[in-house]
Structure 1
């Protein structure tokens, strides 16, 4: 039996019914969905199952790999250092990480890392998933590389290495790993059940990822010299990798964050709520404004999507996701359809996390339906 749990205001009855229907039909296996408006969770729902066999229920504290939603938490960590005056987004990366100047990257700035415009969007070959698990070694290899396009001229989505690049800056400044910093400075103070990787003690409550259907094309169809091919094969990562002990033990700030809709919303609502969550300040309004300093606006060289990147977050474009309105909105999604949308105009955060991945690069039919229903109910 599939049961939907949690609370939702009467005006969001349609949203609740859409999620319930998807769980019953099998469109969803397990999922959680939160809408936070100015610190009040007006929707807080979860249900379904953690496994394909539907033998283990998705509980209130179930976690799952949230893929690239992890990047938004990594971006927040970097912005916290900016807010403290320890990191300047317009400074060369080499100011903090001297080795990064190699390969003609002396003038690459921190903002280029945060907006996927650095030209270093993956590992040079040979590259395997196991290379990503050596966080320090992989970062050193990236520092030695030559950019795959002229930095600052276009975005090229940093699929799997975003956290290695930002994480190395965090490490150089704080002496702590990205994983440690997020745990000690973000998750723990906010009481948010989120972590980069997943501690072994929590594996019993982690919902395994259910891979999406095979894509219509693969990297082999791309020109081998293109940034897209180099990125998607540097390294290639199968979705089922997220269910392995080695992945969960790693510090991959681009893609192996584990949480649920409630914890992701708790953390990212800091942007919508003026930089603080229940009296705990993470950012100033001035630092939040940096997010909307547009760094790239065009077709991304790696994922092929029309993309508008601010500092650390994507900004809406109707030709990318028509169901996200215009305005002061920062967002991104995880592979398979999970989403985090922070609407500063409405002081609202929408968070959706699931284990059954849908097809496509960004968003899914399910996430589109949920987000449209939320906005339909707002004044």
Structure 2
């Protein structure tokens, strides 16, 4: 497999680890970018970007990174809080009056960002077309009750996060939520990251396909069993209502959707650049970054059926949990995306890491491919001796 791009010779082991991914014939295409102290030390890509494996992955190839999108939206909302346009601990209904019904009067933006609001799924069963009907979904969310007492438990909101956080951004900035994120976060850093991709850019997008025969770990098996056998469970409803959430990634309607939970399209360079921007203070001041990366919830996740440790719009490292560690320092923070794409930062090592793939693996949190790359990076830095 031809590996393209650049790597500092100090990080040859990372390059070799990236190349080793393609020893598996199912691996389609991928890209990896790593910055250390603001310097790009790895920027690699390889493989195919189309369904038939005829088109080579390019330097400017984009791919749907799913939940890697969430921290971008969180940062935009935290910027609004820093600007005095949002109080993280005030009722959401101050910005979105219709939301303050059905017992949700006390839900705050902090609850929504930390997945403690009790809003991971929509009570009303919606038709497939609702996925692209912003008004219909936000009305349903505003009118429903929480699944639990806000703040008492936590359960990841895989897709509703995009409508709740997105509606707050839409009302605060008076523009589409994807446009708000791009204006606040992406354009200032020159990131090639888009939430609501323009049709003229579709030819740059990699086709996403699932790997066959990959069974995943115990957490993946629990989720699969719940979704196959319990159609009304919270886990199932979170991922399948409206229908089509898990099967729309290659559709043009999804690429153009401003869904700030999961429809972000970018590359490894944009993920690494985002986290480098956080570490440098270009996006948030140190106080707000500390708030974002402070532990807000930890333990059994009602939606994902595994242990999660959550900040505000990001997942915090769990060094002792095999499927929930980024593989470097214990203060690392970031977010995996469904299927394997991952972005994170390690503030102690001043590392910003971005990995994207169009070969979907079955893992619930961290994909072993990204973890292997992070371990190779740690070896190059001799983290164990630090």
TM-score bin, normalised by smaller chain: over 0.9
Aligned to 1:222: 230
Cα offsets for 1:4-36 (capped at 9, x unmatched): 111111121111112123225424211110111
Cα offsets for 1:185-227 (capped at 9, x unmatched): 2222211111013211011111011124487535242373x43
Aligned to 2:64: 65
Shifted more, 343-352 versus 253-262: the winner is: 343-352
Aligned to 1:279: none
Aligned to 1:306: 307
TM-score normalised to the size of structure 2? 0.91
Q: Helix, strand or coil for the counterpart of 1:264?
A: helix
Pairing 1:356–2:359 present = yes
How has the CA–CA distance of structure 1 residues 88 and 329 changed in structure 2, closer, same or farther, with 3 Å as cutoff? Answer: farther
How has the CA–CA distance of structure 1 residues 328 and 82 changed in structure 2, closer, same or farther, with 3 Å as cutoff? Answer: farther
- Partners of 2:151 and 2:41 lie apart in 1 by 40
Q: Helix, strand or coil for the counterpart of 1:165?
A: helix
TM-score normalised to the size of structure 1? 0.93
Aligned to 1:272: 279
- Partners of 1:26 and 1:212 lie apart in 2 by 10
**Among 347, 362, 375, the residue aligned to 1:372:** 375
Pairing 1:141–2:144 present = no
Cα offsets for 1:32-81 (capped at 9, x unmatched): 10111121111111111102422001000000100110111111111111
Kindly indicate whether the alpha-carbon contact (under 8 Å) linking 1:82 and 1:287 is maintained by their aligned counterparts in 2: no
Pairing 1:246–2:260 present = no
Aligned to 1:232: 239
How has the CA–CA distance of structure 1 residues 232 and 239 changed in structure 2, closer, same or farther, with 3 Å as cutoff? Answer: closer
Q: Following TM superposition, by how much is the alpha carbon of 1:119 offset from its aligned partner in structure 2, in angstroms?
A: 0.8
Aligned to 1:80: 79
- Partners of 1:28 and 1:262 lie apart in 2 by 20
**Among 262, 266, 271, the residue aligned to 1:259:** 266
How has the CA–CA distance of structure 1 residues 267 and 325 changed in structure 2, closer, same or farther, with 3 Å as cutoff? Answer: closer
- Partners of 1:164 and 1:82 lie apart in 2 by 18
Aligned to 1:98: 97
- Partners of 1:90 and 1:148 lie apart in 2 by 20
- Partners of 1:126 and 1:93 lie apart in 2 by 24
Shifted more, 184-193 versus 140-149: the winner is: 184-193
Aligned to 1:196: 195
* Root mean square deviation of aligned Cα: 1.8
- Partners of 2:339 and 2:164 lie apart in 1 by 24
Extract unaligned runs of 5+ from structure 1.
277-281
Aligned to 2:124: 125
Q: Following TM superposition, by how much is the alpha carbon of 1:332 offset from its aligned partner in structure 2, in angstroms?
A: 1.0
Aligned pairs for 1:41-52 (under 5 A) are: 41-52=40-51
How has the CA–CA distance of structure 1 residues 145 and 237 changed in structure 2, closer, same or farther, with 3 Å as cutoff? Answer: same
Kindly indicate whether the alpha-carbon contact (under 8 Å) linking 2:328 and 2:346 is maintained by their aligned counterparts in 1: no
Matched residue pairs, number? 371
Q: Helix, strand or coil for the counterpart of 1:46?
A: strand
How has the CA–CA distance of structure 1 residues 325 and 120 changed in structure 2, closer, same or farther, with 3 Å as cutoff? Answer: same
Q: Helix, strand or coil for the counterpart of 2:49?
A: coil
Kindly indicate whether the alpha-carbon contact (under 8 Å) linking 1:30 and 1:354 is maintained by their aligned counterparts in 2: yes
